[in-house]
Chain A
Amino acid sequence: MNTLNRRCSSSLGKKYVMAVTGLALFGFVVAHMVGNLQIFLGREILNGYGAFLKSKPLLLWGARLGLICLVSLHVWAAIRLTQDNRAARPVAYAVQASISASYASRTMLMSGLIVASFIVFHLMHFTLGGVDPEFLEFRDGAGRHDVYRMVVAGFSTPIVSIFYFVGMALLCLHLSHGVSALFQSLGLRTGHWVRAIDLFAKAAALTIFVGNCSIPLAVLIGLLK
């Protein structure tokens, strides 16, 4: 057990934790986007989806707890790895040059931290009612929580929507590197898969950016009201 513990917290072990939690969180982001895009199908469908999620408290809270664990592990691994990395080069180069390393790959920590703070705001905004407690009281004709009205009201303030665009841009940057790097860390980015995986990562990141931003944009231009 001791040996297992030691090896799992080795440099590669921590990268596996990073990759597995990253993959699961990526899966959540995709599912979350698909669920939310139902707003374009109308109030009825979106509110029905919201009510469906709320009707399964065990599943809902299981997912929430799971997500909290995943985020905690992801952040824990990031902090530990960053500490190691900083310690590994105590004296910096006088001339800073970078070769081959993409902007996204060099700024994973920053993009990750900003996305994390965005998630806190997002939860306050639509889940906890910290921004406007009224949001959670909206009811539709069927007595269900009016998610549709909440989203439209939430994105009607341009500054809030702009913050969402920025958050999504950074998530997109984070995923464009993270999604391909996680396959690398798990030892699956080999041979002919290399190009396919890199392409998939960029396409997925862009899809998530466009998909998620389409909602506040649609509210701002009056498509959803």
Chain B
Amino acid sequence: MKLTLKVWRQKDGDSRGEFATYQANDINPDMSFLEMLDEVNESLLARGEEPIAFDSDCREGICGACSMVINGLPHGGRKATTACQLHMRLFEDGETVTVEPWRARAFPVVRDLIVDRSGFDRIIQAGGFVSVSTGGAQDANVIPIPKPDAELAMDAAQCIGCGACVAACKNASAMLFVAAKVSHLAILPQGRVEKNRRVLRMVEAMDSEGFGNCTVTGSCEAVCPKEISLNFITRLNQEYAVALLKSTGQSAR
């Protein structure tokens, strides 16, 4: 296969970036998108040019490191697929493919396709945890959890924090990410204790990072490689409303 690649090149956060065009020849259709980029980088190195910088780690769709907008859609926009799991056979021979970094004020470009996603870490630090340190895990089934709750919590916990939701949202909103993190803890008894404080703090952190607001377009859910449902955003809205009322009632104490 042959492809024409238009790739965003930017030296660092302070530099102006621009698209560079590369010809990728001899692409094996069984390669992943990242392997294809590896090949392109090999040829760039051979010519003495700077390779394209991009994030990747596990390359099996579970770490959330890879982050690139391919032809206008994060991870290429294929259902439940990260860029590392996106195969070249899905592209047309001779196609022109445009590759851009995540675009959001909260995700500044570090270099080429790499963005700084530490905003997500700061949201987690604001409350995305259970603050007990009680030694080893207790016996399974000591705390009975209804099966539907366990499954729902696991659905939310699948979020790998890749940021595709932010990248796809027309408002660069991080609601789906925050909703997943708030939900997987709030649904289970261990996390329920701190649910009000958690949701208030995480939303506050989300706002201060400069993410946009949810306008319920559903783009986030459509591109999420872990298929996190928009219903978790409903849950976040609900949790926040309840927490707002409760915390306001308690603020005199």
Contact = CB atoms under 8 A, between A and B. Distances in A.
B217 A89 contact: no
Quick one: which of A12, A181, A187, A194 has the most chain B CB within 10 A?
A: A12
A7 B200 contact: yes
A135 interface: no
B252 to A, nearest CB: 11
Given A15-B214, A95-B98, A180-B216, A188 B221 contact: no
A99 B219 contact: yes
B241 A187 contact: yes
Interface in B195-253: 200, 203-204, 206-207, 210-219, 221-223, 230-231, 233-241, 244, 247-248, 251
A87 interface: yes
A117 interface: no
B67 to A, nearest CB: 14
Interface string A165-188: 000000000000100110011111
Contacts of A88: 104-106, 171-173, 210-212
B126 to A, nearest CB: 13
Contacts of B233: 184
B105 A90 contact: yes
B85 to A, nearest CB: 17
B106 A100 contact: no
A140 interface: no
A186 B241 contact: yes
A97 B77 contact: yes
A99 B77 contact: yes
A12 B240 CA distance: 8
Interface residues of A, number: 45
Interface residues of B, number: 52
A100 B220 CA distance: 9
Contacts of B240: 12, 187
A104 to B, nearest CB: 9
Given A84-B212, A89-B103, A95-B100, A105 B217 contact: yes
A223 interface: no
A4 interface: yes
A93 B213 contact: no
A92 interface: yes
B203 A11 contact: yes
A13 interface: yes
B69 interface: yes
B152 to A, nearest CB: 10
Interface in B1-56: 6, 8, 19
A101 interface: yes
B204 A10 contact: yes
B238 A100 contact: no
Nearest to A184: B216
B216 A12 contact: no
Contacts of B248: 3-4, 7
Contacts of B231: 189-191, 194
Interface of B: 6, 8, 19, 69, 71-73, 77, 98, 100, 103-106, 168, 170-173, 200, 203-204, 206-207, 210-219, 221-223, 230-231, 233-241, 244, 247-248, 251
Per CB-CB distance, the 8 closest pairs between chain A and chain B, nearest first, are A187-B238, A97-B72, A88-B212, A101-B217, A95-B72, A85-B171, A100-B222, A187-B237
12 contacts: A12-B241, A15-B214, A84-B212, A85-B213, A99-B73, A99-B222, A177-B216, A180-B216, A181-B216, A186-B237, A188-B234, A189-B234
